[in-house]
Structure 1
């Protein structure tokens, strides 16, 4: 039984769940994220349920957006909402503070900025501009930014994709 508990603690550490409760300091200088993390403590089962539910809802929205593909405004809204849910699902596993810290890591700060900007542009074009062409272009930008952002979590993936694209579109013979 002791080995099972040790294995569970190692798994929790790998996923980013804190093994032991942190002592609450009595200082009033704690940051917003520390207060938020302290108030939103979930056990492992609740985190996994939250992750699965949020990811399933995000994937469902993304897949259902294909049904309204020929209406770019509805497609843009459902696709973007699905991406936001999928992105938020990982906060259940690793916590919102670590999620934001990882997103603002120097390796992926530009990918994060472009991805979040493309989400905002797609929603703006779909909800306020109501222009199908602009919404479709924003969705293409959003999809490209999502791929580039996702590749930032895989070591050397972005450099491999960049080299492959240069090799594919190189016009020198």
Structure 2
């Protein structure tokens, strides 16, 4: 569509675009593509979280649980970037009403992995996973 506009406005095809225009031109996705990737990314996140919960009951499964649950939450969070774009997503995450939930969620993502791999505290890892869930829920509701 942009090429058609350039031709109709008389701009030459080889005329250089600014850096911002080139980035926007190269990164635009159609609405259906955005929705498809949102669904794929969100479903992958939910699947990782469920798989992580199932792996919790295996011997030494707390590590797998923490990794899969954290990756699932990151994937579900990243899925909304397809709908609204990454910059708008970041702006919304750090609005006044969501900033505390966002900071708690990001902190708990890191602390969950720290609790499992460095501190070797299973109970603490589960507490951080619960806090991840609550922070994501608070952020989504607001």
Scaled to the shorter chain, the TM-score interval is: 0.7 to 0.9
Cα offset for 1:51? 0.6
Judged with a 3 Å threshold, the aligned counterparts in structure 2 of structure 1 residues 119 and 108 are, in CA distance, closer, same or farther, namely same
The residue number in structure 1 matching 2:29 is: 42
Cα offset for 1:40? 2.2
- The whole-number CA distance in structure 1 between the counterparts of 2:89 and 2:110 is 19
* 1:127 corresponds to 2:114: no
- The whole-number CA distance in structure 1 between the counterparts of 2:118 and 2:28 is 37
The residue number in structure 1 matching 2:64 is: 74
- The whole-number CA distance in structure 1 between the counterparts of 2:119 and 2:23 is 35
- The whole-number CA distance in structure 2 between the counterparts of 1:115 and 1:37 is 30
- Partners of 2:105 and 2:135 within 8 A in 1: yes
TM-score (norm 2): 0.75
* 1:86 corresponds to 2:72: no
Cα offset for 1:147? 2.1
1:84-129 deviation per Cα after TM superposition (whole angstroms, max 9, x unaligned): 1001001001111110111111111111111111111112222333
- The whole-number CA distance in structure 2 between the counterparts of 1:36 and 1:90 is 20
- The whole-number CA distance in structure 2 between the counterparts of 1:74 and 1:64 is 9
1:51-79 deviation per Cα after TM superposition (whole angstroms, max 9, x unaligned): 11101100110111121123322111111
Question: Which of residues 106, 114, 118 in structure 1 aligns to 2:108?
Answer: 118
| Gapped regions of structure 2 (runs ≥ 5) | 1-15
Q: Secondary structure at the match of 1:76?
A: helix
Q: Matched residue pairs, number?
A: 124
Which runs of 4 or more aligned residues in structure 1 lie more than 3 Å from their structure 2 counterparts after TM superposition? 34-39
Question: Which of residues 5, 28, 40 in structure 2 aligns to 1:53?
Answer: 40
- The whole-number CA distance in structure 2 between the counterparts of 1:133 and 1:102 is 32
- The whole-number CA distance in structure 2 between the counterparts of 1:36 and 1:66 is 39
| Gapped regions of structure 1 (runs ≥ 5) | 1-23, 153-173
TM-score (norm 1): 0.63
